[in-house]
Amino acid sequence: MGDLLDPQAVAEARTWRRDLHRHPELGFAEHRTAAFLAERLTAWGYEVATGIAGTGVVASLTRGESGRSIGIRADIDALPITEETGADWASATPGVMHACGHDGHTSMALAAAKALAGAAFDGTVRFIFQPAEENDGGGREMVKAGLFDRFPVDTVYALHNWPGLKPGQIVARDDAMMAAFAVFEITVTGRGAHGAMPHEGADCLLAASHIVAALQSIAARNVSPLESAVVSVTQIHGGDAWNVLPERAVIRGTTRWFLPEVGDRIETRLTRIAQSVAEGLGCSAGVRYERRYPPTINAREPAARVRRAAEAAGLQVMPADPSMAAEDFAFLLDKVPGCYFWLGAGREGDNPGLHSARFDFNDEILETGAAFWIRLVQQELPAA
C-alpha cells in the first residue's frame, strides 16, 4: 500500500486539508468545497455527480466485473463558530470554522480516491461527500434525493476523528454507536406583574424553573438505569427588566436515546411534565418537540470488516461505550448496512475537543485515515 500513498501524497492531503480549513462553508452552502472536490475527482477518472441535496458530491469508479460495491462517506460542512486557533490556515470566513474535523475527513477520503484511481480492485467504489451533517440533516436529504437509488452500494462506511483516542486507535462497535436526538422548545405563559407585587401575576419564570428541575426526573425516574437517556435544558429566555415579571418564558434543549421506546417515553413525559407543572403554578405551557436524527446503528458484519482491516493495518482496536452525541450518517445506515467508526486523533498536551473554537484537525492522522480507506476497499473488493 505504501506505493499508493507516498510522502508526496500525504503532503498533498495536508495542503488540501488546510485549504478547506481556511475556506469553511456552512451546511447546504458548501459550493466552493463541492467544486474543489468535483474538479479533482473528475481529473482522476471518476464519474462525478454534483448537486445532490444541493451541494452533495458522489464520485464513482468501477474496475473489473464483480458487481460488488462499497460506499465511503465524508462530511464536508463547517460550524457557525468563531475560530480561536491562531493557525496560519485559520478560517478566513468570520464566524465560521471547521471545528469538527470535516476538513480532515474530506481530505482523507480525497487522498484515498486519488490513490485508488491507480489501484487494482474488482467492483465499484463510491465516495459520498455529504453536506450539512451538523444538525441540518444532509444525510437525510441525500437519501431523500435518491442517493442509493442512483448510486447503489452493498455497504457504506464513515469515520470520525476522535480526540479522546490516541492516533493509531480505532473504535468500531457492533450495534449502537451514536444516539438519536431531538430538540424541544417549551413556551411558558403566565400573567405579568410588577416585581414588587408578584401576587397579582402568574410567574412564568417560577414555573419555568420548576419545569427545568422536574425534567431531570425523566432520566432519573422514568427510564431504567440499564438504558440510556439524556434530557438537557440548554437555554432559558424570559424577561427584560429588573422589576417586571414577564408574561412569557421559553425553555429550549435537547434529548438523546437509543431504544425507540425510550425515545417515545421521553417525549411523552417531557410534554406532560411541562404542561402539568405550569398549570399547577397558574400558567400554561406549549411544547414543540422535534425528532432530528435516529440512532447510528452499525451492522455487525460491516463492523467486523472494519476491525479486520484495522488490525491488518496495524491499528489498535479499542473497546468503548457508545456516545450520546448524534450523527446523521444514521440515515444512510437506515437504508444500507454499514459501519460508522472513530479514528484516534488526540494530541499531546492541549487537546481541544470537537466543536471547540480552539479545535484543529490533527494532520498526523491524514495518512492513517487515507491508508485505512484504501485497505478497506481492497479488502472488500479484492482484485480477481
DSSP conformation letters of 110-122: HHHHHHHTTS--S
Cell of 144: 431523500
Averaged pLDDT, 364-381: 98
Q: How confident is the model at residue 1 (pLDDT cuts 50, 70, 90)?
A: very low
Q: State how far the alpha carbon of 9 is from the alpha carbons of 42, 115, 130, 375, in Å.
A: 18, 8, 23, 16
Judge contact between 360 and 24, C-beta under 8 A.
no
Percent of the chain with pLDDT over 70: 99
Domain boundaries, the chain: 7-177+295-380, 180-293
CA 112 to chain centre: 21
Average pLDDT over the chain, rounded to whole? 97
What is the spatial distance between Cα 128 and Cα 157, in angstroms, rounded to a whole number? 10
Strands (E), 272-382: 284-293, 296-298, 316-317, 338-344
* Residue 376: pLDDT over 80: yes
Q: Which tens digits make up the pLDDT trace of 297-356?
A: 999 999 999 999 999 999 999 999 999 999 999 999 999 999 999 999 999 999 999 999
* Residue 3: pLDDT over 70: no
Q: Which amino acid is at 378?
A: Q
What is the spatial distance between Cα 69 and Cα 230, in angstroms, rounded to a whole number? 37
- The residue behind cell 445506515 is 333
Q: Which residues contact 100 (CB under 8 A, 6 or more apart)?
A: 78, 79, 134, 354, 355, 359
- The residue behind cell 460491516 is 302
Q: Which amino acid is at 211?
A: I
- DSSP-based helix, strand, coil % in the chain, nearest 5: 35, 25, 40
Averaged pLDDT, 75-98: 98
What is the spatial distance between Cα 186 and Cα 155, in angstroms, rounded to a whole number? 40
| Closest by Cα among 317, 333, 337 to 180 | 333
Q: Which tens digits make up the pLDDT trace of 51-72?
A: 999 999 999 999 999 999 999 9
CA 280 to chain centre: 39
279 pairs with which residues across the strands? none
Judge contact between 255 and 178, C-beta under 8 A.
no
Cell of 138: 444532509
- The residue behind cell 487494482 is 120
pLDDT at 135: 82
What is the spatial distance between Cα 91 and Cα 20, in angstroms, rounded to a whole number? 9
| Closest by Cα among 140, 130, 83, 70 to 102 | 130
> Which of the following CATH numbers is that of domain 180-293: 3.30.70.360, 2.60.120.310, 3.30.465.10, 3.40.640.10?
3.30.70.360
pLDDT at 272: 98
Q: Which residues contact 106 (CB under 8 A, 6 or more apart)?
A: 16, 17, 20, 33, 37, 74, 75, 76, 129
Tell me whether the CATH fold assigned to 7-177+295-380 matches the one assigned to 180-293: no
Sequence-ordered alpha helix ranges (H) in 199-350: 204-217, 260-280, 300-312, 330-333
Cell of 215: 425534567
Q: Which tens digits make up the pLDDT trace of 230-269?
A: 999 999 999 999 999 999 999 999 999 999 999 999 999 9
For residue 144, the SS3 value is helix
Cell of 161: 476523528
Q: State how far the alpha carbon of 104 is from the alpha carbons of 135, 176, 197, 212, 262, in Å.
A: 19, 24, 58, 38, 34
Establish how many alpha carbons lie within 13 A of residue 235's alpha carbon, considering only the half-sphere containing its beta carbon: 13
Has domain 7-177+295-380 been given CATH number 3.40.630.10?
yes
Cell of 116: 485508488
Q: State how far the alpha carbon of 229 is from the alpha carbons of 39, 200, 217, 242, 265, in Å.
A: 44, 39, 11, 37, 10
| Closest by Cα among 25, 12, 81 to 57 | 25
String of DSSP letters for 208-245: HHHHHHHHHHIIIIIS-TTS-EEEEEEEEEE--STTEE
Q: Which tens digits make up the pLDDT trace of 200-233?
A: 999 999 999 999 999 999 999 999 999 999 999 9
Q: In the structure, how many helices (H) and strands (E) does the chain have? A: 10, 16
